[in-house]
Amino acid sequence: MTRISRPGLLWPALAALLSCMVVLAGLLTWWNTDLLGKDDFCDGMFSSSEVSAALEGTGRLAEEEYQQAGRSHWLRCEMKRTSRFVDSSKPHVSVATEFLKGDEVFQSPVWQKRERMAFTEHGLAGGATRKRAWVLVPKECWGGIPLRRGSVPYLTAEVSDGRNPPQASDVTSSPEALLQLADRATQRVIDDAGCARKSSGRYRAPDTTALTSADHHRSDRESICGKRGFTLPPDAFPTADVTLGRERTTSASGTVWACDLHLQGKGGPSLTLMTTSHRDTVAAAKRQATAESLNNGKVVRCEQGEMYVGLWLHNRYLDLLLDEDDGHGRRPLAFLGDVLTSLAKSQAAKNEWNGCHF
């Protein structure tokens, strides 16, 4: 005998099932998207669109921590994406004030694992990779911020997986998005330090976070890094198999110019050269020089202005140079001073500066 189900008994069950599915879909949407999420983060410092651009992927945006100390103008904001039941990365971004040595962003291993750093076109001095960004607080503000001798305030933004430091994490982001966060935080410090009126004309251009482009090409001995007159002495090539190779140069229109010089030879030796006449970066280097000697960098004074020139030896190149120490008093890094002088002279000639003290 066939049993016939009555529709009246099925509808409540179907309605309950449908309700459960709607609730589950709503929870998944809430957990794994930013629908109806926060409009801003860290006391209005960042918009949700700015944070979303820096934290690529799926998941809900969340503010993990926000601290701001009054008189020191120190701040820290940590944000992340959260998700459930979705196989995706959970990127984390930290924006903070850091009191660093004047040229530390050019001379620290943390920043020199650079992954093709680009620099701001103009306005605030800054730089960014796919993992980190930095912006230097303008020097007009330094007097209102308690600083250690030789240090200057930077605002930094860096992404990670929330468990490991950036260099040990696979999480990356847009350099422009990271720079935008660092720039927004810098504007907060400028306002809170009471120096906005002094610096707003220089630093609040609409495209203040535009980044420089870069060119890749083979090195030319007559124009290394595209600079006529710049040369590397023989000691820069410690073995016969080390020769000029390829180079990456950033646009000369930026607040900082840099050249990643990749030499041919065992282990892939390389070095990075940089120059800047941006008043804040030069002032930062000079402030450090009053406390301790600059490491592989110097400030050159000319009649038309001042410039900072510096270089960074990547580990494989440094090891190669140090291996050539013959134990008889030879100084394998003594040639670095000549490299800096040659770089400064070529930059001064390009700027048509004279009366320089090299």
Q: Where are the beta strands (DSSP E) in 180-293?
A: 214-218, 243-250, 257-264, 270-276
Q: Exposure pattern of 208-236 as b/e (b: 16+ CB <10 Å)?
A: bbbbbebeeeebeeeebbbbeebbbeebb
**Which two tokens mark 191?**
């306002």
Q: Write out pLDDT tens, residues 83-92.
A: 765 555 679 9
Distance CA 89, CA 170 (A): 9
Our CA angle for 314, 318, 322, nearest 5°, is 175
Do 34 and 60 contact (CB within 8 A), yes or no?
yes
Residue bearing the bigger pLDDT, 7 or 76:
76
When pLDDT is averaged across residues 188-213 and rounded to a whole number, the result is: 72
- Cα-trace Rg, the chain: 26
| Confidence label for 199 from pLDDT (cuts 50, 70 and 90) | low
Distance CA 202, CA 191 (A): 14
Nearest to 56 by CA among 163, 161, 129: 161
| Confidence label for 295 from pLDDT (cuts 50, 70 and 90) | confident
Nearest to 15 by CA among 5, 7, 3: 7
pLDDT value at residue 327: 55
pLDDT value at residue 301: 96
Burial of residue 246 (CB within 10 Å: 0-12, 13-18, 19+) is middle
**pTM for this model (two decimals):** 0.85
Residue bearing the bigger pLDDT, 149 or 183:
183
208: DSSP letter:
T
